[in-house]
Amino acid sequence: MSKKKYEKRTDLEKIQSQWNKLTGLHSRDEYSSAIVRAATAAEIAANFAVRNEFESQTNCSDDFVDSLLRWANGIEGKINRLLLPMTDGSKHHKVLADMKKRAEGINKKRNAVAHQGEFCNEDESKKVIKDARDFIENVVTLYDPTFKLKDKKRKK
């Protein structure tokens, strides 16, 4: 059985792949790397939400939406520059606004690891992973109510 190439996966498949990877990293005490993967999974969830909003509200091409996702640059940009303005007055706006603070915390810790070389301990990693799970599941279920992250069983 061959695996689907990462770039051919859907956003939801990419989120789950990142989640599987971070679970393995965390189990090997690679806490800082697990934080980066958790933040990446959360950002892909934001991408998923943006794509769904554009699909339901516009006839914009996928290439145009992808260019906006690059322009928004990061989870905070995607929330502040795209999702919150696009959902203002909609049923999704409150959930997304509530998730904004959680995304800021995830991004702050990710940036400390990625840009300042910070090392994190297990408790810091567990908090970011918990916040990322909450963010991902709350955001994705707005558009796919059946979505739930699956925790991969690790061999001992």
Q: What is the pLDDT of residues 93-137, one digit of tens each?
A: 999 999 999 999 999 999 999 999 999 999 999 999 999 999 999
Per residue in 100-109, pLDDT (tens digit) is 999 999 999 9
Give the distance between the most distant pair of CA atoms in the chain. 49
The pLDDT value given to residue 139: 97
Residues of the chain with pLDDT under 50: 1, 156
- So what's the pLDDT on residue 155? 53
Residues making up the chain, counted from first to last: 156
Nearest residue to 127 via CA among 147, 102, 150: 102
Q: Pick left, alpha or beta for residue 56 (phi over 0 → left; psi -120 to 50 → alpha; otherwise beta).
A: alpha
Q: What angle do CA 63, 43, 41 make, to 5 degrees?
A: 115
| pLDDT at site 138 | 97
Domain ranges of the chain: 11-140
CATH number of 11-140: 1.20.120
What is the distance between the alpha carbons of residues 63 and 35, in angstroms, rounded to a whole number?
Answer: 29
